[in-house]
Amino acid sequence: MLSFSQLVCCLCLLFFVVFSKAEPDFSLLNISVDTERLVEDLKILGQFSDGDYPGITRLLYSKEDKAARRYLIALFEQSGLSVSWDPVGNIFARWEGSDPTAPAVGSGSHFDTLLNAGLYDGTLGVLGALEAIRSLKKAGFQPKRSIEIVAFTSEEVSRFGVGCVGSRYMVGSLSVEELMKLKDSEGVDFDSARKFCGYTEELGSSTTSDDRYSAFVELHIEQYHILEDKGIPIGLVTDIAAPALYTVEWKGPGGHAGSVPLNERQDPFLAASEFALSLEQLILKDPTNSRATIGRVEVYPGSAGAIPRSVRLSVDIRDINEESRTKLKEQAMEKAASIAQKRKVKMDISHNYSYPPAKMDPKVIAVMEDSCRKYNLTFLKMISRPFHDSLFMATKFPTGMIFIPCKEGKSHVPDEYASPEDILRGVEVLAETLARLSYL
């Protein structure tokens, strides 16, 4: 129950919003986040999993994903939000503002997972946005611009080998032709899978207009331990690093493991191994900004008694600066060519994709800073090394990201954890930010 002073604050704020065209006095906005409810929502959503809790596996268009979608839609509707979706399954939950024709303020994240992942990655941004709206409603706030939650389809690179399907589809960087070519490891195509999940509308080009959102804000766990180490409760993202993915294949004649002497071999696995170590040394020359990862290795024929005939490596190179990323790629491939020549193997390089790094919008960041100051929360401006749906939303809309600490920086694992206290602070800042942006 509200105290008398809280009731007066709510009535004053309501008066300003309803009877004045001016921006409300946000110092009167008293946000009370129900963290216990939010954590319970997270735990219930975590039960929609193909695996044993707390390890969560919820892949795109699986039966678990389908059930999770029904649960989210029910929560949104129970909170008085109007719900819709697009042909790939992005779910939109809108709280209509006093000026419904104006571009809305967006917030949200994804709710799919990798194999045996955690409870908070992505889902905190979806359910945190819902709790932010619940808190604002409870405070008697009425937005001018509508506030819309987006529960994005498939941010993780999992079932179909493509990340940020929903956000890329929305902003037009993933075409219908590309989607129709996608198949999972069992040969199920993207179109059949989405129809299984109930999305039978014709898969046309995205109809998201350039003015759908005046701003977009994503709440997320940090997925590293900078905030935890520094004892800072809030991170405000300034840049998001983006990956360029390549496949490097090494080929040799193979041979019998017992008969061919080592000094006569043209072993593609040894060439690939030497390349992997050389890539590490390139990164260690400037470990602050760049990242490079070999996350997938395929050895053919994969027999213990045979020298490999081919080895394929995935090479993921990331940076917040596209020129630096390109330079690193060129240095890496020059080294690869040198190794191939020395070891007398053939080498082929193919480019899978490159995403442009993103800068967050200074005006959105400024609003988030003001929101932190209202709650006397220290904040750290920081770079996001993992990429998120905000990477692509930023190509079309002014975008910002709020990070909260996660225990020991662990993510994509079952023991991923964010404390209720940190969740509370993150949702407070998000709610305040959405309220302020709705009047800009």
- 427-440 pLDDT, tens digit per residue, is 999 999 999 999 99
Where does the pLDDT of residue 7 fall: very low under 50, low under 70, confident under 90, or very high at 90 and above? low
> Which pLDDT score is estimated for 10?
53
- 38-53 pLDDT, tens digit per residue, is 999 999 999 999 988 8
> Which pLDDT score is estimated for 330?
96
Spell out a b/e string for 326-356, using b for 16 or more CB atoms within 10 Å of the CB, else e. Answer: eebbeebbebbeebbeebebebeeeeeeebe
- List 251's β-bridge partners, or say none: 310, 346
Give me the percent of the chain exceeding a pLDDT of 90.
91
- What is the average per-residue pLDDT within 399-419? 98
> Which pLDDT score is estimated for 1?
54
Q: Exposed, middle or buried, 237 (CB in 10 Å: 0-12/13-18/19+)? A: buried
- What is the average per-residue pLDDT within 53-69? 96
CATH topology of domain 243-354: Alpha-Beta Plaits (3.30.70)
Of 196, 167, 162, nearest to 179 by C-alpha is 162
- What is the average per-residue pLDDT within 8-28? 61
Backbone angles phi, psi at 433, to 5 degrees: -65, -45
- 208-224 pLDDT, tens digit per residue, is 899 999 999 999 999 99
Domain ranges of the chain: 31-241+357-437, 243-354
Where does the pLDDT of residue 288 fall: very low under 50, low under 70, confident under 90, or very high at 90 and above? confident
> Which pLDDT score is estimated for 51?
86
- 310-366 pLDDT, tens digit per residue, is 999 999 999 999 999 999 999 999 999 999 999 999 999 999 999 999 999 999 999
- 380-406 pLDDT, tens digit per residue, is 999 999 999 999 999 999 999 999 999
Q: Exposed, middle or buried, 159 (CB in 10 Å: 0-12/13-18/19+)? A: buried
Q: Is the pLDDT of residue 16 over 90?
A: no
CATH topology of domain 31-241+357-437: Aminopeptidase (3.40.630)
Q: Is the pLDDT of residue 4 over 70?
A: no
Q: Rounded CA gap, 122 and 116, in Å?
A: 15
Q: Is the pLDDT of residue 19 over 50?
A: no
Mean pLDDT of the chain: 94
> Which pLDDT score is estimated for 200?
95
Which contiguous run of DSSP H or E holds residue 431?
helix 420-437
Q: Is the pLDDT of residue 416 over 80?
A: yes
Q: Is the pLDDT of residue 15 over 70?
A: no
- 156-200 pLDDT, tens digit per residue, is 999 998 999 999 999 999 999 999 999 999 999 999 999 999 999
> Which pLDDT score is estimated for 287?
77
- What is the average per-residue pLDDT within 199-210? 90
Q: Is the pLDDT of residue 12 over 60?
A: no
